[in-house]
Structure 1
Amino acid sequence: MLGRIERLNVSADVKALLRDLARITLRVGEAVVSIGRKIIDFAFELVKSYPSTTFGLATGLIVGTLVAGIPLLGPLLGPILTPLLSAFGLTLGALEDLKDGGVRRRIDALERSVATVLANA
């Protein structure tokens, strides 16, 4: 986990924040759950499984933030355009991921693993 964080192409401050998040734990009865690691694992898996969706959302957020920074018009347009551009980027990315067959590949892998288990039973 920490090795994956260290290999990210981000600033040292972001890496430090991610390491702090990874250390967060939650006590449930007698068990201790590493909730921070679960969140980071989920985020890595999401980016790995749906790269176009993640890129589309990030692009929409960045463009919306840039529009919000325009003098005079930014404060008026930013709150309206940022969510719209984010949703638009998310939608285009999700459509691209569906066309790419990322979901289909995961279903095929699941089918193969179930078939292997059934064949060995």
Structure 2
Amino acid sequence: MDERIDKKNLTLEEALERIQTAPPLRKVKAFLDQTDLSADLKALLYDVAKITVKVGEVIVAVGRRVLQIAMTLVHKFPHSTLGLIVATILSTILSVITAGAGPTVLGIVVAFQKLMYLLGIGAGVVEDIRQNAMKEAMDRVAVEFGVLGPTIQE
């Protein structure tokens, strides 16, 4: 995903070829087995990896490519990941502190937790965008998968 993609020059065949560069299911499973994720989350991600779409006569491994892109983005955009982690930690602490509170307080806590997630992720994304890396990566993803959708003839 490092090379630049020019939308006007990417054909359907090229897009399918790029999507098919995703690792095989056995490698995805081996990668997931090495993580510290819960067994339920590993099973869910493995199910996502098995998602395929038929384009003409070609079976496209969309799920494996989505997971590959997600793993790349986590490494490429540490600010967004850090923002999410900090928001999760603060949300957990707030939940523990207010565990015995009444329903009104819990409603406020839930709203505040959502706001923390938005601010945490938002701050990370803003920093990643400031470095222009997020926009370039999302442009590449949009081009790669956009070719598979309907197009408007000019």
Q: The TM-score by the shorter chain falls in which range? A: 0.5 to 0.7
One-letter code aligned to 1:42:
I
- 2:108 corresponds to which of 76, 81, 84: 76
CA contact (8 A) 1:56 1:92 kept: yes
Give 3-state SS (helix, strand or coil) of 2:59's partner.
strand
Return 5+ residue gaps in structure 1 as ranges.
107-121
CA contact (8 A) 1:67 1:74 kept: no
Deviations 1:14-43 (A, max 9, x none): 111111111111112211111111221121
Deviations 1:57-103 (A, max 9, x none): 2332453465467332122331x32332112212433465578x694
CA contact (8 A) 1:61 1:83 kept: no
TM-score by length of 2: 0.53
Identity, % of aligned positions? 30
- The list of structure 1 runs, each at least 4 consecutive aligned residues, that deviate by more than 6 angstroms after superposition, is none
1:47-58 alignment to 2 at 5 Å? 47-58=74-85
One-letter code aligned to 1:19:
Y
Is residue 67 of structure 2 the alignment partner of residue 35 of structure 1? no
Decide whether aligned partners of structure 1 residues 74 and 65 sit closer, same or farther in structure 2, where only a CA change above 3 A counts.
farther
| 1:20 equivalent in structure 2 | 47
Quote the Cα distance in structure 2 between the aligned partners of 1:25 and 1:95: 33
| 1:87 equivalent in structure 2 | 118
Quote the Cα distance in structure 1 between the aligned partners of 2:62 and 2:93: 33
Q: How many residues align?
A: 102
Could you say which structure has the higher helix fraction?
Answer: 1
One-letter code aligned to 2:39:
A
TM-score by length of 1: 0.65
